[in-house]
């Protein structure tokens, strides 16, 4: 009996329909209908160490350099800023832990595990096929292309910033160089899974070296400053001012914020803005579940990878930001160019030459995040192709072209290009991300990305709570405390509502993406019926 048949048999007794499920025919959105030749499959050759490295590589990226300034500008003291970093990390951990519970329960059973990764199978299982499809559609055409575009833009901006140029982000030269970086990284992911993970491991080492360098520099300044308080080294504010004492903040536009004059509602607005910056820095915590199908023992390795990597990231982020406040005068943290915080800190301590080295390390850190996100983007697209939500062309792994073309090409093994990478999916990702780079900008893409992600994160974690009551007997090899997803639902719901209110243009664009997705869903469903008929 096939896994698909077994799943169907097991769920005929007492199975409950998804909340928003319909009685649609199984030919659309059913992974079992795709032949083995056309199905994109991956080898289970990854372990907890590789999953740990992929999470680290994705999360520790541009956020550690782009978010400190925006967070500092929206809080009354450095101590509160560090608390915001902690709260954002804990929120990411609650979401990741909940996904680990779902990832070791639902994907381990039946047709959902055969084709899907990430939040899509959970949404499909709980709310029905339409919601599952919209999540996949949003990630493939909006969230991930925007993420890759942002990282490509930040990579080039880091280089320009190191050269002292900070006003070229909108130039066509800047955009074309960003596209070039994107093409190179996607090309690297096209070689093979093993090559991608090896390159990813190199970037992980680079990330730890970069953060360790900043933290060690901060420790050296603390030791020297404590031993000789009159010595001029570092920012000095860390030694002479209270970390939790309210102070007037200097915004990047030059205006001054007097925190004593703000109402509670205004304070909440600033704190939520700061939290949004932290959530961007921690974005990527969900990506480990996209490689569940490639883990040798997902029920054990997935929770292990998440519950070791996310705390590691929280410690790294808090330590690095504490070092920024030690190395820099506090008024510079909020006003320094976002991608130059680390470079500025090292330059002030060790000189311009080391500042250039710091800028190179920043570029490598961002490149690692770009590589990791590109890696999982291909897996998302293959999943959608396997489920017939996208043309099956995108489910082909290891070849460019359709499954039949791939089979023809593979007959000449000596001339065929050997790869186990999702080449068609990476090509689609390159095209969509290029459009975002050419027609978007960093801030607009950042808000758009956040709205798209947290809309479905909210629904996914809410679904985990619903499943606790709807399917109490569902086998859960890993089960988190119920308060953990509850906290995430409350905070993420607030983030989505606040984002939609303060960024109505991006919210409308996202709604348009969903409307287009529903049209595509219905068109594909009608087309599938005609083909089967």
Q: Estimate to the nearest angstrom the gap between the alpha carbon of 438 and the chain centroid.
A: 21
Range of the domain at 379: 42-532
Q: Which residue in the block uniquely carries the two structure tokens 């289970």? A: 44
Q: Say if pTM beats, i.e. exceeds, 0.85.
A: no
Q: What is the CATH number of the domain that holds 143?
A: 1.20.1740.10
Q: What is the mean pLDDT of residues 280-306?
A: 75
**Contacts for 45 with CB less than 8 Å, ≥ 6 apart:** 193, 194, 294, 296
Which range of 10-14, 69-73, 153-157, 464-468 scores highest in mean pLDDT? It is 464-468
Phi, psi of 256 (to 5 degrees): -110, 135
DSSP 344-399: HHHHHHH-HHHHHHHHHHHHHHHHHHHHHHHHHHHHHHHHHHHTTSS-GGGG--SS
pLDDT band at 172 (very low <50, low <70, confident <90, very high): confident
**Does residue 482 contact residue 465 with C-beta atoms inside 8 Å?**
yes
Mean pLDDT of the chain: 76
- Residue 299 in domain: yes
pLDDT at residue 147 is higher than 50: yes
Count up the domains in the chain and report the number. 1
- Residue 11 in domain: no
**Of the ranges 40-54, 453-467, 477-491, 498-512, which one carries the lowest mean pLDDT score?**
40-54
**Of the ranges 69-78, 118-127, 148-157, 243-252, which one carries the lowest mean pLDDT score?**
243-252
- Residue 9 in domain: no
Number of residues written out for the chain: 533
pLDDT at residue 276 is higher than 50: yes
Residues 19-37: b if buried by 16+ CB within 10 A, e if exposed? eebeeeeeebbbbbbbeee
pLDDT at residue 351 is higher than 80: no
- Residue 480 in domain: yes
What does the pLDDT look like over 374-424, one tens digit per residue? Answer: 888 887 888 788 878 888 888 787 777 665 554 445 445 444 446 677 888
Handedness of CA 469, 472, 475, 478 (dihedral sign): positive
pLDDT band at 31 (very low <50, low <70, confident <90, very high): very low
From CA 533, how far away is CA 445, in angstroms rounded? Answer: 42
**Pair of tokens at residue 17:** 């329909």
**Does residue 410 contact residue 114 with C-beta atoms inside 8 Å?**
no
What does the pLDDT look like over 101-142, one tens digit per residue? Answer: 887 777 543 333 333 456 778 888 889 889 989 998 998 999
pLDDT band at 250 (very low <50, low <70, confident <90, very high): low
pLDDT for residue 13: 38
- Residue 13 in domain: no
User: What percentage of residues in the chain have a pLDDT greater than 90?
Assistant: 16
pLDDT at residue 12 is higher than 60: no
pLDDT for residue 80: 93
From CA 382, how far away is CA 433, in angstroms rounded? Answer: 17
151: burial class by Cβ within 10 Å (0-12, 13-18, 19+)? buried
From CA 56, how far away is CA 365, in angstroms rounded? Answer: 11
pLDDT at residue 46 is higher than 60: yes
Task: Answer with the residue of higher pLDDT: 190 or 348.
Answer: 190
- Residue 17 in domain: no
CA-based nearest residue to 62, from 317, 330, 435, 378: 317
**Pair of tokens at residue 200:** 């990813």
- Residue 29 in domain: no
What does the pLDDT look like over 68-104, one tens digit per residue? Answer: 877 888 889 999 999 999 999 998 888 888 888 887 7
pLDDT for residue 512: 95
- Residue 12 in domain: no
Task: Answer with the residue of higher pLDDT: 59 or 473.
Answer: 473
């Amino acid at each position: 009996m096939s896994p698909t048949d077994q799943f169907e048999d097991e769920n005929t007794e007492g199975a409950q329909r998804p909340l928003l499920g319909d009685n649609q025919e199984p030919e659309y959105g059913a992974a079992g209908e795709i032949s083995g030749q056309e199905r994109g499959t991956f080898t289970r050759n990854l372990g907890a160490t590789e999953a740990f490295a992929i999470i680290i590589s994705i999360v520790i990226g541009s956020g550690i350099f782009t978010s400190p300034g925006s967070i500092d500008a929206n809080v009354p003291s450095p101590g509160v800023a560090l608390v915001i970093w902690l709260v954002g990390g804990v929120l990411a951990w609650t979401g990741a832990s909940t996904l680990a519970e779902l990832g070791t329960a639902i994907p381990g059973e039946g047709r959902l595990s055969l084709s899907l990764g990430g939040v899509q199978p959970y949404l499909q299982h709980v709310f029905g096929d339409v919601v599952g499809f919209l999540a996949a559609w949003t990630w493939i055409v909006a969230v991930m292309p925007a993420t890759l575009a942002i990282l490509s833009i930040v990579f080039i901006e880091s280089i320009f910033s190191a050269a002292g140029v900070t006003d070229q982000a909108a130039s066509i030269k800047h955009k074309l160089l960003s596209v070039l970086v994107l093409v190179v990284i996607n090309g690297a992911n096209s070689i093979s899974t093993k090559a991608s993970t090896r390159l990813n491991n190199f970037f992980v080492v680079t990330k730890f070296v970069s953060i360790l360098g900043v933290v060690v520099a901060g420790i050296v300044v603390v030791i020297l400053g404590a031993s000789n308080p009159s010595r001029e080294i570092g920012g000095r504010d860390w030694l002479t001012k209270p970390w939790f004492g309210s102070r007037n903040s200097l915004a990047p536009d030059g205006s001054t914020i007097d925190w004593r004059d703000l109402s509670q509602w205004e304070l909440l607005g600033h704190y939520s803005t700061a939290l949004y910056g932290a959530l961007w820095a921690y974005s990527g915590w969900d990506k480990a579940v996209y490689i569940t199908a490639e883990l040798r023992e997902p029920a054990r390795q997935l929770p292990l990878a998440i519950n070791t990597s996310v705390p590691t990231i929280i410690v790294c982020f808090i330590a690095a930001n504490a070092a920024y406040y030690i190395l820099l005068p506090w008024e510079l943290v909020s006003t320094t160019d976002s991608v130059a915080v680390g470079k500025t800190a090292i330059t002030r301590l060790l000189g311009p030459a080391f500042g250039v080295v710091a800028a190179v390390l920043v570029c490598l850190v961002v490149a690692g995040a770009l590589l990791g996100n590109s890696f999982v983007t291909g897996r998302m697209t293959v999943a959608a192709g396997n489920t017939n939500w996208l043309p099956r062309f995108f489910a082909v792994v290891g070849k460019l072209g359709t499954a039949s073309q791939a089979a023809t090409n593979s007959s000449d093994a000596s001339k065929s290009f050997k790869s186990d990478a999702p080449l068609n999916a990476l090509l689609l990702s390159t095209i969509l991300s290029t459009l975002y780079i050419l027609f978007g900008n960093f801030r607009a893409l950042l808000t758009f990305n956040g709205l798209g992600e947290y809309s479905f994160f909210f629904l996914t974690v809410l679904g985990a709570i619903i499943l606790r009551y709807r399917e109490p007997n569902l086998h859960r090899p890993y089960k988190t405390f119920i308060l953990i997803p509850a906290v995430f639902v409350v905070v993420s719901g607030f983030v989505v509502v606040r984002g939609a209110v303060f960024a109505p243009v991006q919210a409308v664009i996202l709604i348009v993406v969903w409307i287009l997705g529903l049209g595509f869903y219905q068109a594909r469903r009608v087309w599938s019926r005609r083909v089967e008929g």
